[in-house]
Amino acid sequence: GENVEQHPSTLSVQEGDSAVIKCTYSDSASNYFPWYKQELGKRPQLIIDIRSNVGEKKDQRIAVTLNKTAKHFSLHITETQPEDSAVYFCAASIAFDTGGFKTIFGAGTRLFVKA
């Protein structure tokens, strides 16, 4: 089955600096890679996603890159702000031809942005 590894488990940056979180996946059939942000005591919420036919996607200060050959994908946050402090989860998802999909999450990265 699919296995998703996420690094680092904890990341501390100074406000204004960039943060990078990296993930690897094992199943080459995975074709959708969402990233979720979870604030303390809240539910995970989607912040950006990328499909396997795209190498890079950007939305304001966040960007995601995908290397299908190496089975790597990464989240980049630029100009970090204190409100970016949260746990970030990467995930790899497989869609089935008959409909439905299965998503496996990484273990999460706890990001601290120091003011």
Contact 110, 43 (CB under 8 A): no
Distance between CA atoms of residues 67 and 73, nearest Å: 6
Asked if residue 25 binds another protein (CB under 8 A), the reply is no
Pairing of strands 62-67, 45-51: unpaired
Minimum CB distance to another protein, residue 50 (Å): 11
Of the candidates 30, 28, 36, the one whose C-alpha atom is nearest the C-alpha of residue 6 is 36
Task: Pick the piece of the chain touching another protein (CB under 8 A) from 44-52, 56-64, 65-73, 77-85.
Answer: 44-52
Q: How far apart are CA 8 and CA 29, in angstroms?
A: 25
Contact between 89 and another protein per CB under 8 A: yes
The verdict on 72 binding another protein (CB under 8 A) reads no
26 lies in the binding site for another protein (CB under 8 A): no
- 93-102 burial: b if 16+ Cβ within 10 Å, else e: bbbeeeeeee
Query: Does 60 sit near another protein (CB under 8 A)?
Result: no
Candidates 17-25, 45-53, 59-67, 70-78: pick the segment binding another protein (CB under 8 A).
Answer: 45-53
Residue 112 engages another protein in binding (rule: CB under 8 A): no
Residues in the site for another protein, rule: CB under 8 A?
1, 31-32, 34, 36, 42-46, 49, 51, 89, 93, 95-108
